[in-house]
Structure 1
Amino acid sequence: MNTWIKNATMVNHRNEIEAIELLIKEGKIDAIGADLSLIGEQVEKIIDAKGALITPGLVDVHVHLREPGFTYKETIKTGSEAAARGGFTTICAMPNTNPVPDTVEKFAEIQAKIQEDAVVNVLHYAPITTGLKSDELVDQVGLLKAGAFAFTNDGVGVQTAGTMYLAMVEAAKNNTVIVAHTEDDSLLFGGVMHQGAMSEKLNLPGILSITEASQIARDVLLSEATGAHYHVCHVSTKESVRVIRDAKKAGIHVTAEVTPHHLLLSEEDIPSDTAIYKMNPPLRGIDDRDALIEGLLDGTIDFIATDHAPHGDEEKSGGMVNAPFGIVGSETAFQLLYTHFVKTEKFTLIQLIEWMSTKPAETFKLNAGHLEVGAPADLALFDLTDEQIIDAQEFKSLASNTPFIGWKVSGTTLMTLVNGEVVYS
């Protein structure tokens, strides 16, 4: 089907808004111009954007879809629908499912479910080790052939340096990426939130900043020794930013992501002992949050990823000690960041689009993140003027565990297209 999107706007590399129209043909962008009304093509569908901003579809390399094993929290279908509502057209799902997809056979079952149910492009990680918590490496070659996106034990840190070293040796051979949730279990001490003023005030066990930064320090040296591409999940501390910055200066192939919630919140925003603010890594100090913003602006941190982590209402209804870690983020990320950083002129609009689309795609060599002729017609349309209150009743996700319910935001997703087909409107 040929589709003509007219009366749209885009942001150019001078951060200026300009009029734009697109012709989509056979799932790809066929033409871009200020006025395509005379192109002479047989157009079967016309979408009037009415001045909305058009962007390349957003790319999120860190989501939890919970299927198989935890489908009361989320499914591949509902998680991909939530992503589409947020303007995401490509998402990358973590392997902390039950069973863990640590064999070709298990991985193939998830791939089949993705083909059946996903409404956006879903790429799936394989684990670094069998069952996530062992020291037995998976068959990287076999899993890559089965379609694995990259390798991670997200949810737990790889505790043994030798195991991480051998995984990186294999990854360098196989030209794939090791993606790390960095957390030294020996430094956890039962913590449920950041070790700081608020944990003392609430009399809750804290998580030390060094729990994260110490593993990153170990791993960047292993990356240097092996030549592997090492990517750090959800950076949260100023010490971690410093280690990554120094590693990049040394020429080590390390990249990193930060979440919207770590950019927007700190421990001081936690009002009480409530599990809705429990996430891993936890909300840190204001100086940590400021270091994350600075790291994003100076290129130490490469892009933004949501760490969309749905849980059941009952699980997140009490205090922190017994609740699971995590908040949802797919449906609120762009709106929150546009409202609190672009509208306040801390970030430019082009920076936000690059951090949420272009740069994650380039980092992982995905055919996504670009608004150009020949690119897949994976697109999002946003109304930057529309103000809404974040309302859990409108979520496509099965879960609503986020502290951002009730926040007023601008930048509503009007439409999301994947391969030229409307998947959310």
Structure 2
Amino acid sequence: MKTLIKNGTVFNEGHLVNEDLLVEDGIIRALGKDLHEYLTDDYVEFDAGNLLVSPGLVDVHVHYREPGQTEKETIKTGSAAAAHGGFTTVGAMPNVDPVPDAPEKVAQMIAKNQKDGLVHIAQYSAITTGRTSDQLVNMAGVKKAGAFAVSNDGNGVQSAGTMYRAMQAAKAVGLPLAAHVEDESLLFGGVMTEGARAKYLGLPGSPEVVESSQVARDLALAKATGVHYHVCHVSTKDSLAMIRFAKQNGVRVTCEATPHHLLLSDECIDGHDTNYKMNPPLRHEEDRRALVAALNDGTVDMIATDHAPHTKENKGTDFYCGANGITGSETAFALLYTKLVKAGLLKLERLLDLMATNPAAAFNLTEAGRLEVGKPADIAIFDLDHAYVIDQRDYLSKGRNTPFTRMTVYGQTVLTMVDGQVVYRRKED
């Protein structure tokens, strides 16, 4: 069966063009204005007039909680949420139980991802056994088993010696190392960022050097080892400045920013709504503005959601005890299109690069992030013209933990296709 997607505004090779797209046998067969030569009687037509046709979005940072915490999320529900948000490729972090910290465990995770996932799920291995030890995983073994990168996300690697050896080992086998940057000795029991807002609320704060001090350490180690070093959820202006300097001096470093750090600051925290509690915590407004600026100057390479579903009981109402993290897969594109593109702070083409082309290229996900003849038909179609309200009744994730519910936005997902198969379609009114 062939599917002809007609009349759309197509994001192709960095440009927005009015053209048609033909899908056949799971791949993109043709792109252009007149595709009749490729058609037979056996095809269906989708009219994408006034809609954006994009490569399927790529999110290199999600948490699917399976195995170990399936009350929060499963591979099936998490990947359904991704499809709802227009994502067709995601990177699953290894903070599950048991941790994928050995080749056989990575292979088991990949098999489960392929069995239950509605989208393509690339699997991280841990950097160290259990994610918290100083014993390195078998880097060659986990790569052979199918890991696309290594990370201890959820915990920073506390020992410089361990990180140095990990970078050497990852470099030797060609694996990117994605770091959760957090020096635990500097937390001081904080539940938000130290500063005027924390003081006003009477909540303990942690200094921003929790992040930036470990970024500085790791950039020096990355320069020494030559590894592809990726900074997860960068959140402070000082971290950005160091990453920018490192790039200018030849360090192979990339970084991601999350929608919540780009759109929210610590001023949003009231001390009771734990949907504003996350790790890294929301930063000061000057940090948020610096992140938005870094999207445009190239310091930030990509946007990743850090999709982190929790149960209502996990989040609770106590800012001291509530779990860190919010969901993001189903709201990211619409929020960023509305708050950044429509506000004139970012071009649509740049947003699509940040959410599709760049993450795929940085992590060598060669079949993702582009609309190209002969490539898998991983496609997302968005309605940019009509406002809608983010409604938790529409969520496909098990998680409801987001502060963005009830917000009016533009950029609703109309259809998501993976390997030519429709995995999400907007309900008709």
Q: Which segment drifts farther, 79-88 or 312-321?
A: 312-321
Q: Which segment drifts farther, 71-80 or 373-382?
A: 373-382
Counterpart of 2:104 in structure 1: which amino acid? E
Q: Which segment drifts farther, 297-306 or 44-53?
A: 44-53
Give the percent of matched residue pairs that are identical in Structure 1 and Structure 2. 54
Q: Does residue 374 of structure 1 match 2:344?
A: no
How far the C-alpha of 1:224 sits from its partner, in A, is 0.7
Counterpart of 1:299 in structure 2: which amino acid? G
| Cα pair 2:139 2:169 within 8 Å, conserved | yes
| Cα pair 2:10 2:17 within 8 Å, conserved | yes
How far the C-alpha of 1:345 sits from its partner, in A, is 1.2
Root mean square deviation, CA, Å = 1.3
Alignment correspondent of 1:122: 121
How far the C-alpha of 1:129 sits from its partner, in A, is 0.2
SS in 1 for 2:165: helix
Alignment correspondent of 1:47: 46
Counterpart of 1:85 in structure 2: which amino acid? H
Q: 1:26 to 1:190 in 2, by over 3 A?
A: same
Counterpart of 1:250 in structure 2: which amino acid? N
Alignment correspondent of 2:318: 319
Counterpart of 2:247 in structure 1: which amino acid? K
- Once the two structures are superposed, the pairs formed by residues 369-408 of structure 1 within 5 Å of their partners are 369-408=369-408
Alignment correspondent of 1:168: 167
| Cα pair 2:271 2:319 within 8 Å, conserved | no
How far the C-alpha of 1:156 sits from its partner, in A, is 0.4
Q: Stretches of 4+ moved more than 6 A in 1? A: none
Deviations 1:148-182 (A, max 9, x none): 11000000000000100001111111011110000
Alignment correspondent of 1:67: 66
Alignment correspondent of 1:183: 182
Q: Does residue 229 of structure 1 match 2:202?
A: no
| Cα pair 1:416 1:423 within 8 Å, conserved | yes
Alignment correspondent of 1:287: 286
How far the C-alpha of 1:38 sits from its partner, in A, is 4.3
Q: Does residue 5 of structure 1 match 2:35?
A: no
Deviations 1:311-344 (A, max 9, x none): 0011113121111110000000000000011111
How far the C-alpha of 1:209 sits from its partner, in A, is 0.5
CA distance in 1, matches of 2:275, 2:393: 17
Alignment correspondent of 2:347: 348
Alignment correspondent of 1:28: 27
Unaligned 5+ segments in structure 2 are: none
| Cα pair 1:4 1:43 within 8 Å, conserved | no
CA distance in 2, matches of 1:373, 1:189: 53
Q: Which segment drifts farther, 47-56 or 303-312?
A: 47-56
| Cα pair 2:12 2:371 within 8 Å, conserved | no
CA distance in 1, matches of 2:47, 2:273: 44
Counterpart of 1:203 in structure 2: which amino acid? G
Alignment correspondent of 2:57: 58
Aligned residue pairs total 424
CA distance in 1, matches of 2:142, 2:44: 40
How far the C-alpha of 1:104 sits from its partner, in A, is 1.9
CA distance in 2, matches of 1:161, 1:342: 40
Q: 1:389 to 1:13 in 2, by over 3 A?
A: same
SS in 1 for 2:312: coil
How far the C-alpha of 1:8 sits from its partner, in A, is 1.6
- Once the two structures are superposed, the pairs formed by residues 331-346 of structure 1 within 5 Å of their partners are 331-346=330-345
Counterpart of 1:7 in structure 2: which amino acid? N
Q: Which segment drifts farther, 127-136 or 242-251?
A: 242-251
Counterpart of 2:199 in structure 1: which amino acid? E
| Cα pair 1:180 1:232 within 8 Å, conserved | yes
Alignment correspondent of 2:80: 81
| Cα pair 2:114 2:120 within 8 Å, conserved | no
After TM superposition, the score normalised by the length of structure 2 is 0.96
- Once the two structures are superposed, the pairs formed by residues 132-147 of structure 1 within 5 Å of their partners are 132-147=131-146
Counterpart of 2:297 in structure 1: which amino acid? D
SS in 1 for 2:162: helix
Counterpart of 1:419 in structure 2: which amino acid? D
CA distance in 1, matches of 2:372, 2:4: 15
Deviations 1:228-255 (A, max 9, x none): 1100000000110011011111110011
Deviations 1:87-135 (A, max 9, x none): 0000000000011111222222212211211000001100000001000
Q: Which segment drifts farther, 148-157 or 371-380?
A: 371-380
CA distance in 2, matches of 1:99, 1:138: 14
CA distance in 2, matches of 1:43, 1:238: 55
How far the C-alpha of 1:355 sits from its partner, in A, is 0.4
CA distance in 2, matches of 1:108, 1:316: 32
Q: 1:11 to 1:114 in 2, by over 3 A?
A: closer
Alignment correspondent of 2:275: 276
Deviations 1:353-395 (A, max 9, x none): 0000000011111121112212211000001112111111110
CA distance in 1, matches of 2:107, 2:323: 28
CA distance in 1, matches of 2:148, 2:203: 37
CA distance in 1, matches of 2:139, 2:238: 31
CA distance in 2, matches of 1:40, 1:80: 32
Alignment correspondent of 1:424: 424
How far the C-alpha of 1:20 sits from its partner, in A, is 1.5
Unaligned 5+ segments in structure 1 are: none
